[in-house]
Amino acid sequence: MEVDIHGAPIYFEIPIFGGIPITGTLVVTWGVMIVLTALCAWMTHGMKVRDISKKQAVAEKIYEMLNNLVRNNMGEKWMGYLPLVTAIFGLSVCSSLSSLLGLWAPTADVNTELAWALVVFILITRHKIKGHGLKGYLKGYLDPIFVMAPFNVLGEIFTPISMAFRHFGNIVSGYVISALIYAALIAANHALFRLLPGLVGSLLAEIPILGVGIPAVFSLYFDWFGSFIQAFIFCMLTMIFISTAED
């Protein structure tokens, strides 16, 4: 039984700056971006004030939900972060769900989440400095006494890392478990139908009958549930960390 668990596929390298690898992560992300943008453009195309179409109702409902999410978790003065939260949520959900289409999920590459977390980290730091002043911000690392400084620095650095790895871990574990289950089902299929005598047995053993249907059940949790819940958690943490940074 061969289980092949690997990272993002590298399609080719752009031979500048010592080679920029174009991975499945990037290609699928671009695809997701195109699809999302096209979807938004289609939904908001020809919007009217009255007698709205179904697609406009959906667009307005989505907007309302996102707006309420940011308003309830961050407050009125943080509404400028609506686009960021929307972008993270949209990219996260669609990236994770792209595995349903047999594509490489960009969220199964830790660089994706690290990129998002890095942006969030920069914003958190910016608001901490804005709220406390540079001196107050640096002084915060010596809290409560100066020997705690290394731990405070670590704590600060691990905020984005834990955010990134929580999301990444959940998605990649789903990916690994799905791969294992699928491989196990193939092996079980092989072993089961081998028991049948003659040509029929060896023929049926080659067709992954058990591979049909059962992985879909697991996919329901790992892909659908996991995708949404992780995107939601990442957005919640983003909003809470940023909005509490100034306090």
Binding site for other proteins (CB under 8 A): 5-11, 17, 20-21, 23, 25-26, 29-30, 33, 36-37, 40-41, 43-44, 47-49, 56, 59-60, 62-63, 82-84, 86-88, 90-91, 106, 109-112, 114-116, 118-119, 168, 172
CA distances in angstroms from 63 to 4, 55, 247, listed in the order given: 41, 12, 28
CB of 175 to other proteins, least distance (A): 9
Q: Is 149 or 233 the residue whose CB approaches other proteins more closely?
A: 233
CA–CA distance, 94 with 43 (Å, rounded to integer): 17
And the tokens for 217? 């059940």
C-alpha R_g of the chain: 23
Q: Is 172 or 242 the residue whose CB approaches other proteins more closely?
A: 172
Q: Is 63 or 137 the residue whose CB approaches other proteins more closely?
A: 63
Q: Is 49 or 195 the residue whose CB approaches other proteins more closely?
A: 49
CB of 163 to other proteins, least distance (A): 14
DSSP state letter for 105: P
CB of 85 to other proteins, least distance (A): 9
CA–CA distance, 7 with 110 (Å, rounded to integer): 10
Residue 97 contacts residue 36 (beta carbons within 8 Å): no
The owner of tokens 């991975």 is 23
CB half-sphere exposure, 60, CA atoms < 13 A:
10
CB of 225 to other proteins, least distance (A): 22
Q: Is 176 or 188 the residue whose CB approaches other proteins more closely?
A: 176
CB of 22 to other proteins, least distance (A): 9
Q: Is 29 or 230 the residue whose CB approaches other proteins more closely?
A: 29
Q: Is 8 or 237 the residue whose CB approaches other proteins more closely?
A: 8
CA–CA distance, 127 with 133 (Å, rounded to integer): 9
CA–CA distance, 38 with 43 (Å, rounded to integer): 8
CB of 244 to other proteins, least distance (A): 21
CB of 70 to other proteins, least distance (A): 11
CA–CA distance, 36 with 41 (Å, rounded to integer): 9
DSSP state letter for 22: E
Residue 223 contacts residue 100 (beta carbons within 8 Å): yes
